[in-house]
C-alpha cells in the first residue's frame, strides 16, 4: 500500500484513525478468560467492532512479549485474522527497534515476514544502516521516531544541535532522504502540537503517525490544525481511550462508540480541509 492508496482508504472511511492494540491481562474484561486465548479474543472483538472506522492498527509488541511465547502466539493470530478479514487495514508493528545491519535484517525478517506486518516503528539512534534493511522490502513502511509524545522526549530529542535546531529535526531532515513518502513515515507526538508545524516545514509530504491523543493529553483539533496536508498525511493513534472504553461484556460496543467519536471529529476535519475525494 503506497501513500495514495492509504489516502484512498482515508477518504473512503472518512477516518485517519489508527487503533493501538495494546492488550493488558490486568485490564481486559474478566469474562474473556473463559477462552483459551483471551488476548486474541479481545483483539478480535475490538477490531470486528471498529474495522470500518479505522485505516490502521498498531499492536505494541511489548504487550505481547510481556506474556512470553504465548503472547507472541496471540499476536500471530491477531495479525493473521486482520490480514484475512480486513486486508485494507494497515498493520503497524510498534516495535521501536534499532540495531546494526545484520541484526536489523533479523528484526525485519521477524516483523515483515514472520508476522506479516505492513509497517514497523524504528528508533533512529544507530543511524542509517539500522534502518535500510527494513527499506529493502517492497510495499512495506518504515516509521522512524521523530518527536515522541512522552515527557522524556525532552531529555534528548529537544537538545539543540550546533546549528541551533532540536535534535529530532536533525533526525527527520537526515532520515527523510533515505526513502520517499511511499515507504517512510515519522512518529510525531500529539502532546507538543507546535512541533508538528515545524516538522511540516521540512517534510510536507510524508505521513506522520501521531500518538498521544487521549490518555496522554494530546488534542485532535490541534494536531490536525498543525499537521494535516493535501493528502491528509496523518494517522492518529488512540489505544487506551478506545480499547478500555468499557470493561464488561459490552466492551467492544464501548470501544466502537469511543472510536466513532474520534472518527466523527476526523470526518469534520477532512470536510473542512476539502479532503473528501482522492
Using CB under 8 A as the criterion, which residues of the chain lie in contact with a second copy when the complex forms?
22, 24, 60, 62-63, 65-69, 71-73, 76, 94, 96-101, 103-104, 106-107, 109-110, 114-115, 123-131, 145, 148-157, 159-162, 164, 167, 170-171, 174-175, 216
Torsional sign, CA 215, 206, 48, 112: negative
Closest approach of a second copy to the CB of residue 49, in Å: 23
Nearest Cα neighbor of 265 from 241, 248, 247 is 241
DSSP symbol at 131: T
Closest approach of a second copy to the CB of residue 40, in Å: 13
Distance of alpha carbon 232 from alpha carbon 10, whole angstroms: 8
Q: Cβ distance 212 to 202 under 8 Å?
A: no
Closest approach of a second copy to the CB of residue 188, in Å: 13
- CB nearer to a second copy: give 62 or 271: 62
- CB nearer to a second copy: give 7 or 64: 64
Closest approach of a second copy to the CB of residue 183, in Å: 18
Distance of alpha carbon 248 from alpha carbon 52, whole angstroms: 22
Nearest Cα neighbor of 127 from 148, 153, 102, 98 is 98
Q: Cβ distance 48 to 255 under 8 Å?
A: no
- CB nearer to a second copy: give 102 or 201: 102
Q: List Cβ neighbours of 264 (8 Å cut-off, separation of 6 or more).
A: none
**What are residue 62's phi and psi, to 5 degrees?**
-55, -40
**Hunting for cell 491523543 — which residue is that?**
213
**Hunting for cell 495494546 — which residue is that?**
22
- CB nearer to a second copy: give 131 or 223: 131
Cell numbers standing for residue 63: 504487550
Q: Which residues are catalytic?
A: 96
Nearest Cα neighbor of 57 from 92, 13, 88 is 92
Cell numbers standing for residue 108: 525485519
DSSP symbol at 273: T
- CB nearer to a second copy: give 31 or 109: 109
Closest approach of a second copy to the CB of residue 18, in Å: 16
Closest approach of a second copy to the CB of residue 166, in Å: 10
- CB nearer to a second copy: give 41 or 94: 94
Amino acid at each position: 500500500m503506497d501513500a495514495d492508496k492509504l489516502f484512498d482508504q482515508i477518504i473512503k472511511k472518512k477516518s485517519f484513525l489508527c487503533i493501538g492494540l495494546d492488550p493488558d491481562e490486568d485490564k481486559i474484561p474478566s469474562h474473556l478468560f473463559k477462552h483459551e486465548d483471551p488476548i486474541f479474543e479481545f483483539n478480535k472483538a475490538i477490531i470486528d467492532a471498529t474495522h470500518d472506522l479505522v485505516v490502521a492498527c498498531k499492536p505494541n509488541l511489548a504487550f505481547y512479549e510481556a506474556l512470553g511465547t504465548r503472547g507472541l502466539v496471540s499476536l500471530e493470530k491477531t495479525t493473521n485474522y486482520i490480514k484475512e478479514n480486513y486486508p485494507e487495514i494497515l498493520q503497524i508493528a510498534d516495535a521501536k527497534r534499532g540495531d546494526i545491519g545484520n541484526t536489523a535484517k533479523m528484526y525485519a525478517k521477524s516483523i515483515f515476514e514472520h508476522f506479516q506486518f505492513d509497517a514497523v516503528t524504528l528508533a533512529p539512534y544507530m543511524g542509517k544502516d539500522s534502518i535500510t534493511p527494513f527499506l529493502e522490502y517492497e510495499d512495506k513502511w518504515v516509521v522512524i521516531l521523530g518527536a515522541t509524545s512522552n515527557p522524556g522526549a525532552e531529555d534528548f530529542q529537544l537538545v539543540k544541535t550546533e546549528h541551533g535546531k532540536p535534535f529530532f529535526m536533525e533526525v527527520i531532515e537526515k532520515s527523510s532522504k533515505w526513502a520517499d513518502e511511499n515507504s517512510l513515515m515519522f512518529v510525531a507526538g500529539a502532546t507538543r502540537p507546535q512541533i508538528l508545524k515545524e516538522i511540516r516545514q521540512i517534510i510536507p509530504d510524508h505521513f506522520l503517525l501521531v500518538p498521544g491523543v487521549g490518555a496522554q493529553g494530546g488534542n485532535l483539533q490541534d494536531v490536525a490544525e498543525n499537521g494535516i496536508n493535501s493528502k491528509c498525511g496523518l494517522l492518529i493513534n488512540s489505544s487506551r481511550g478506545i480499547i478500555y472504553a468499557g470493561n464488561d461484556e459490552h466492551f467492544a460496543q464501548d470501544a466502537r462508540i469511543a472510536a466513532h467519536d474520534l472518527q466523527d471529529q476526523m470526518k469534520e476535519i477532512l470536510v473542512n480541509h476539502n479532503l473528501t475525494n482522492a
